[in-house]
Amino acid sequence: MASSASSPQSNRPKKSPKWLPIVFLAVIVLLLLLGIAYSFRSTSVPVPPPSAPPAASNPGANNAAASPLPSPSASASPLASPSPTTPSSPSPLDLTVNTDGLSHSTIAIDTPRGIIRFKLYTNDAPETVHRFVELVQKGFYNGLTFHRVEPDFVIQGGDPQGTGRGGSGTKLKAEFNSRHHLEGTIAMARTSDPNSADSQFYIALKPLPQLDNNYTVFGQVIEGLDVIHKIQVGDKMTSVRIE
């Protein structure tokens, strides 16, 4: 007779497939990885896009050769004074003259060899004197050199180029006068053109009568005659000032 009771195995719970825990674990790991990736993305600093490349420069804009210096006879405009310059300290200026025709104010040139002091012939060369004083007050001569030294003849300076070809850019009309070239006489240098003097000046190292009435004499050394004979090529005018 058949039994109505269920089979002993019919009420046992069915076992889950063996791969289900593996899938569940894989899902958890995947979620964790996605969470980490999202967190890193939200906190990282964005990298800016690369900047545009600079525009190409004109290949010839900065490659031009420097203009050659003009020959001594050339009429090219001289270079302006070097920049920056240090203006001289303001000092009382008295260009009125004494009985010798020399100004009451004195020009002092500090050099490595000592100080040269000279006074100005205001009445004999008024335009030259006023231009020279203007340059001194602007500090034009400070730091310039004596670029020419001719023993038993002259020392010469006042060229910002240091070659004997430069100047301040302002030509002066010749003011030839009756003042003689004595030891320590100061006059304007020039080319063959009588009206080509600018900022360069020379100091006579001895009497030079052959230069009289051919160059604008505008000053005379009153102190430092020994110094002018010690000057060497390249010595600087450390300071040129009015006293």
**Residue 11 token pair:** 């009420």
pLDDT band, residue 25 (cuts 50/70/90): confident
Q: Would the pLDDT of 186 be above 90? A: yes
Task: Report the pLDDT averaged over residues 221-230.
Answer: 98
Question: What would the pLDDT profile of 26-52 be if each residue is shown by its tens digit?
Answer: 777 777 777 655 554 443 333 333 333
Please indicate, yes or no, if residue 98 is contained in any of the structural domains.
Answer: no
Please indicate, yes or no, if residue 151 is contained in any of the structural domains.
Answer: yes
Question: What would the pLDDT profile of 100-152 be if each residue is shown by its tens digit?
Answer: 999 999 999 999 999 999 999 999 999 999 999 999 999 999 999 999 999 99
- Transcribe 2-49 into DSSP letters: ---SPPTTTTSPPPPPTTHHHHHHHHHHHHHHHHHHHHHHHHSPPPPP
Determine how many CB atoms are found less than 10 A away from the CB of residue 49: 6
Q: Is the peptide bond before 84 cis (omega within 30 degrees of 0)?
A: yes
pLDDT band, residue 72 (cuts 50/70/90): very low
What CATH number does the domain containing 217 carry?
2.40.100.10
Give phi and psi for 28, each to the nearest 5: -60, -45
Please indicate, yes or no, if residue 17 is contained in any of the structural domains.
Answer: no
Please indicate, yes or no, if residue 147 is contained in any of the structural domains.
Answer: yes
For 128, the domain range is 106-242
- Please tell me the distance from the alpha carbon of residue 161 to that of residue 81, in angstroms, as a whole number: 8
Please indicate, yes or no, if residue 219 is contained in any of the structural domains.
Answer: yes
Determine how many CB atoms are found less than 10 A away from the CB of residue 207: 14
pLDDT of residue 84: 43
Please indicate, yes or no, if residue 171 is contained in any of the structural domains.
Answer: yes
pLDDT of residue 44: 37
**Which of the two residues, 85 and 47, has the higher pLDDT score?**
85
Q: Would the pLDDT of 190 be above 80? A: yes
pLDDT of residue 92: 86
Please indicate, yes or no, if residue 33 is contained in any of the structural domains.
Answer: no
pLDDT band, residue 68 (cuts 50/70/90): very low
What percentage of residues in the chain have a pLDDT greater than 70?
67
**Which of the two residues, 17 and 159, has the higher pLDDT score?**
159
Note the Cα 37 to chain centre separation in Å: 58
Please indicate, yes or no, if residue 202 is contained in any of the structural domains.
Answer: yes
Angle formed at CA 101 by CA 98 and CA 105, multiple of 5 degrees: 60
- Global pTM reads 0.65
- Please tell me the distance from the alpha carbon of residue 166 to that of residue 78, in angstroms, as a whole number: 5
| Number of domain units in the chain | 1
